[in-house]
Amino acid sequence: MSGDGGRPGSRRRTVLRSAVAGGLGAAGLTTGLAAGARPAHAEGARKGAEPPRTRVSILLYDGFTALDAVGPYEVLCRVPGVEVTTVARERGPVLTDTGEMSLVAARAMREVRRTEVLLIPGAGNRGTLAMMEDKGVHEWIRTLHRHTRWTTSVCTGSLILGAAGLLRGLPATTYWASRPYLEKAGATYTPGRFVEAGKILTGAGVSAGMDMALHLASRIADPRTAQAVQLGIEYDPDPPYDTGSPEKADEELEKLALKLIDDAAR
């Protein structure tokens, strides 16, 4: 425990220890930015130290996997200068693969013609196949990709990048159960939580998006910022089991994992 600001009952009411004396609580309780306003920009302007603007656009589509989008969002949203937005065919709620959760797309695809970072989350079988066949989405991805600093995917999102023609001749990764399908896109499956190939960054399945995003945070900002973000989300993983990759599982467990995904899919 460090600093006086952390003492319960200190001047400002707060439930997080203060970053600077009286700082965190004060900002949390007194700022009145409109919903969706750019907090980092506001902070930057106030302090005369505006960081370069980095727009991160996360594609949402029917049947996407929530954590593929939210893991990287939670890492990137606190990197100075980063603005995260969610994009779908139309603005509004988009249902996930299980049908038990919806995230809201803040913008429609036609409203987003430039972005510094594009992130394509993965989905179950149905959602991924639909996106792999959607020529309009491919055109949108290619248009954005011309000017991105980073074009990224999580899980089967790499198959969508592949269908858009972006992975030809490149090393890439994807969801473990989808590795054989990367070759159809002309990519070479490469082991790893994430694979960097020029400005294309592909992540492995679902939760790997968090590891990929920490790497991305260090490239957008610097390693120290990425480390602070890791601490900020208390990402000190310690799962009660160690069966998170097929290399650590037996064939029966693989079958059960895929059956559970199948059964929960809408």
Residues carrying an active site annotation: 155
Closest to its own copies by CB, 146 vs 150, is: 150
CB of 167 to its own copies, least distance (A): 14
**Backbone φ/ψ region at 87: left (φ over 0), alpha (ψ -120 to 50), beta:** beta
CB of 192 to its own copies, least distance (A): 8
Nearer to its own copies, 108 or 256 (CB): 256
- Of 114, 165, 112, 159, which Cα lies nearest the Cα of 138? 165
Q: Which residues contact 13 (CB under 8 A, 6 or more apart)?
A: 25, 29
Q: For residues 121 and 97, what is the distance between their CA atoms, to the nearest angstrom?
A: 12
**44: which residues sit within 8 A by CB, 6+ positions away?**
50, 51, 80, 81
Name the residue nearer to its own copies (CB basis): 190 or 230.
230
- Give the shortest CB-191-to-its own copies separation in angstroms: 11
